[in-house]
Amino acid sequence: MRTRFTLNGEPRELETHPMRRLLDVLREDCGLTGTKEGCGEGECGACTVLVDGEPVVSCLVPVAQAEGCELLTIEGLGGDHPLQRSMMTEVGAQCGICTPGVVLAAKALVDAPRKPTLARVREALAGNLCRCTGYEAIHRAVLAAHAERHAK
C-alpha cells in the first residue's frame, strides 16, 4: 500500500504493508534510528513520536494510521531544542535509550507558555520509563528548558 505522511516537515511517500509498525517504518524504511524500541508492547515509551502533535508509542501504531499525518521524530528537533540542551546540562540521560521518547513526550510542556508544576511534569512523563536516572534529573531538565524557552 502507498502511504503518505509528513515526516519532520518533509512530505514522504512510501510503499509498505499497512500493518507494519510505525516504529519499524521510521527506523528501517526512513533510516531514522533515533526512535528506540524498548519493550515493544507499549509499556515503556522509548519509541514515542509525535503524530499531529500528540505523543504516541510507535510500536503499537500500524503505519496505515499515520496516513496523512504530521510526524515528528527526535531527528526533527535538530538537536537545538531547549529541552535537548537542558537534558545534557542537567544530565537527564544516562544510557540514553529512553531519552528521545522523553524529550518528545515533554516537548509540549516545554513549548507551552504556562509554567508546568512538578506534578504536571511527572504526569506528562508517566508513560516513559527510565531505569537509570530516577527521573529527578529529567524533571529538572524539563523545568530548566521551560524557563529558557520562555525567558523574556
Our finding on whether 137 is near another protein (CB under 8 A) is yes
126 is a contact residue toward another protein (CB under 8 A): yes
Please return the burial class of 53, using the count of CB atoms within 10 Å of its CB with bins 0-12, 13-18 and 19+.
exposed
Q: Which is nearer to another protein, 19 or 118 (CB)?
A: 118
Q: Which is nearer to another protein, 35 or 99 (CB)?
A: 99
Among 68, 96, 112, 115, binds another protein (CB under 8 A): 96
Least Cβ distance, residue 148 to another protein (angstroms): 17
Q: What does the binding site for another protein look like in residue numbers (CB under 8 A)? A: 38-39, 41, 43-44, 89-91, 93-96, 118, 121-123, 125-129, 131-139
